[in-house]
Structure 1
Amino acid sequence: MDPDLVLLLNGIVSGLLLGGLYAAAASGLAVSFGMLDIVNIAHPALMVMGAFTVVLIGTTLGLDPLLVAVLQAPLFYLLGIAIYGVYHHFFERRGEEALQGLAFFFGVMFIIEVGLVMGFGPEQRFLDPPYAFTTLRLGEIDLPLRMLAPALLALAALGLLYLYLRRSFTGLAIAAVAQDAEALRLMAVDPVRIKRLAFGISVALASIAGGALVVVQPVEPSSGQIFIGRVFAICIMGGMASLPGCLIAALLFGVVENVTATFYGPSWSPAVAFGWLLLVLAFRPQGLFGKAA
C-alpha cells in the first residue's frame, strides 16, 4: 500500500480515537452549557482535576486509571452539586448569572489550577497502565490500546448519558429545564433541583474525561486552558444541546486536527481545526445537529 495512504488512514483512525476523548469532555459541557445555559468555563479545569485525582488514587492503590475514573465519578457528581448550589444561591436566583456568574466560574477555574499546583507541583503527571504499550494491528492500521481503551470508555459514558436523557423522566426534565422552567413547575418539578442534578452529571463526566486523558497524554495543572477552546468549539459545532451532534463534531474535530498535524505539523492543526469550525458555522450557524431558530 502507498505509504502516504497508510499514513492518512492511521491519522484518521488516531483522530477518531482522539475525538472520542474530546466527546467525553464536550458532552459534560453540552449538559451544563447547552441544556442548562450555564457557561461553565471551569469545565476543562475540572477535567484536569479529575486526571490528577486518578493519578493520585491509581498510584496509591495500584488500580487501573480508567477504573478509578469511573469509581470517582460519584464524588465529582457531589462536587458539581455543591458548585451549582453556590452558583445558584449567589448569582442565578438574583438574575446575575450572565456576567457575575461567568466571573464565578473563572474564579473556580483559577482556584482549581492553583490548588493543583500547591498539591501536586507544576510538573506533568502521567500513568502507564499495563496495556499502554500494546498495539492492535488491522492490516496497515495501528490501534494503540493507550488511545483505544479511553475512547471506548468515553463513548460508553456518552451512550449511557444519551439513554438516561431519552428514557428517564429526570433526563427529559434536564433537556427541558432551560427551555421552559415554568412548565416544569406546573408539573410539580423543581427546576433548581433538576439543574443541580444535571450540573452534577456534567462534572462527573468531566472527571471521567480527565481519567481518560491522563492515559492518553501527560497533564499539568494548566492543561485545562488548552482544552477550553476545543470543548466549547465542539459543543457549539455539534448544536449546543445535541449529544449526537457533540459526538460527530468531536470525531470530526479530532480527525481534522490529527491529520493536519500528521502531514503539516502540530502548529497548523489548531488553526485548521478552528478554521473548519468557522466554516461550518458560516453555513450552519445552529451547528451540525442544532435546530434553526
Structure 2
Amino acid sequence: MDPDLALLLNGIVSGLLLGGLYAAAAAGLSISFGMLDVVNIAHPAFMVLGAMLVALFWGATGIDPLVLSILLTPAFWALGAAIYVAYHHFFERRGDEAIQGLAFFFGVMFIIEIGLVLAIGPEQHFADASYANTTWRLGEIDLPLRMLVPALVAFLAIGGLALFLRHSFTGRAIAAVAQDREALRLLAIDPVRIKRLAFGISIAMAALAGGALVVVQPVDAGSGHIFIGRVFAIVIMGGLSSLWGCVLAALAFGVVENVTASFYGPSWSPAVAFGALLLVLAVRPQGFFGRVA
C-alpha cells in the first residue's frame, strides 16, 4: 500500500477513536448547554476531576479505569444536582444566569483546579489499563485498544442516554424543559426538579469521559483547558441539543484534527479543526442536526 494512503487511513481511524473521547466529553455538555440552557464552562474541569479520581482509585485497587468511572457516576450525579441547586437559588430564579451565572461556573472551574493541585499536586496522573499497550492490526491499519475500548464505552453510554431521553417520560421532560417551562407546569411537572436531574446526568457523563481520558493520556489539574473550546465547538456544530449531532461533530472534529496532525504537524490541527467549524456554521448555522428557529 502507498505510504501516504496508509498514513491517511490510520489518521482517519485514529481520528474516529479520538472523536469517541470528544463525544464522551461533549455529550454531557450537550445536555446542560443545549437542553437546559446552562452554560457550564466548568464541564471539562468535572471531567478532569473524574479522571484524577479514577487514576487514584485505579492505583489503590487495580480495578479497570472505565469500570471505576461508571462506579463514580452516582457520586458525580449527586455533585451535579447539588451544584445546580446552588446555581438556581442564587442566579437562575432571579434571572441573573447570563453573566453572573457564567461567572459562577468560572469560579467552580477554578475551585476544582486549585483543589486538585492542593489535594493531589500538579503532577500528571495516568491509569495504565490492562489492554492499554495492546494494538490490533488490520492490514495496514492499527487499532490501539487504549483508544478503541474507551470509544466503545463512550458510544454505548451515549446510546443509552439517547434511548432514555427519547423513550422515557422523564427524558422527554428534560428535552422539553428549556423550550416550554409553563407547559411542564401544566402537566404537574416541576421544571426545577427536572433540570436538577438533568444537570446531574450531565456531570455524571463528565465522570465517564474522565475515565476514558485518563486511559488515553496523562492528566493534570489543568488539562480541562485543552477541552473547553473543543467541547463547546462540538456541541454547537452538532446542533446544541442533538446527541447524535454531537457524536457526528465529535467524529468529524477528531478526524480533521488527527489527519491534519499526521500530514502537517500537531500545531496546525486546532486551527484547521476550528476553521472547519466556522465553515459548517457559515453554511448551516444551526449545526448538523439543529433546527432552524
How does the TM-score come out when normalised to structure 1?
0.99
> How far apart are 1:50 and its partner, in Å?
0.3
Partner in structure 2 of residue 135 of structure 1:
135
Partner in structure 1 of residue 80 of structure 2:
80
SS in 2 for 1:128: coil
SS in 2 for 1:189: coil
Summarize deviations over 1:140-166 as a string: whole Å, max 9, x none: 111000000100111011000000000
Partner in structure 2 of residue 255 of structure 1:
255
> In the aligned structure 1, how far is the partner of 2:166 from the partner of 2:150?
24
> In the aligned structure 2, how far is the partner of 1:46 from the partner of 1:158?
18
> In the aligned structure 2, how far is the partner of 1:127 from the partner of 1:50?
12
Moved >6 Å (runs of 4+): none
> In the aligned structure 1, how far is the partner of 2:83 from the partner of 2:157?
22
Question: Letter of the aligned partner of 1:63 in structure 2?
Answer: I
Partner in structure 2 of residue 273 of structure 1:
273
> In the aligned structure 2, how far is the partner of 1:162 from the partner of 1:120?
35
Does residue 188 of structure 2 align to residue 188 of structure 1? yes
> In the aligned structure 2, how far is the partner of 1:164 from the partner of 1:243?
12
SS in 2 for 1:131: coil
Question: Letter of the aligned partner of 2:116 in structure 1?
Answer: L
Matches within 5 A, 1:71-220: 71-220=71-220
> How far apart are 1:56 and its partner, in Å?
1.0
> In the aligned structure 2, how far is the partner of 1:74 from the partner of 1:137?
37
> How far apart are 1:104 and its partner, in Å?
0.3
> In the aligned structure 2, how far is the partner of 1:98 from the partner of 1:184?
23
Specify every segment of 5 or more residues in structure 2 that has no aligned partner in the other structure, as ranges. Answer: none
> How far apart are 1:120 and its partner, in Å?
1.1
Partner in structure 2 of residue 236 of structure 1:
236
How does the TM-score come out when normalised to structure 2?
0.99
Moved more, 117-126 or 34-43: 117-126
> In the aligned structure 2, how far is the partner of 1:129 from the partner of 1:283?
42
Question: Letter of the aligned partner of 1:223 in structure 2?
Answer: S
Partner in structure 1 of residue 284 of structure 2:
284
Question: Letter of the aligned partner of 1:51 in structure 2?
Answer: A
Question: Letter of the aligned partner of 1:199 in structure 2?
Answer: F
SS in 1 for 2:72: helix
- Residue identity over aligned pairs, in percent, reads 75
> In the aligned structure 2, how far is the partner of 1:141 from the partner of 1:39?
39
Specify every segment of 5 or more residues in structure 1 that has no aligned partner in the other structure, as ranges. Answer: none
> How far apart are 1:137 and its partner, in Å?
1.1
> How far apart are 1:127 and its partner, in Å?
1.4
> In the aligned structure 2, how far is the partner of 1:138 from the partner of 1:172?
41
> How far apart are 1:27 and its partner, in Å?
0.6
Matches within 5 A, 1:32-71: 32-71=32-71
SS in 2 for 1:133: coil
> In the aligned structure 2, how far is the partner of 1:265 from the partner of 1:229?
20
Moved more, 122-131 or 11-20: 122-131
> How far apart are 1:62 and its partner, in Å?
1.2
> In the aligned structure 2, how far is the partner of 1:4 from the partner of 1:201?
43
Summarize deviations over 1:35-92 as a string: whole Å, max 9, x none: 0000000000000000001011111111110110111011000000000010001111
> How far apart are 1:119 and its partner, in Å?
1.0
SS in 2 for 1:137: strand
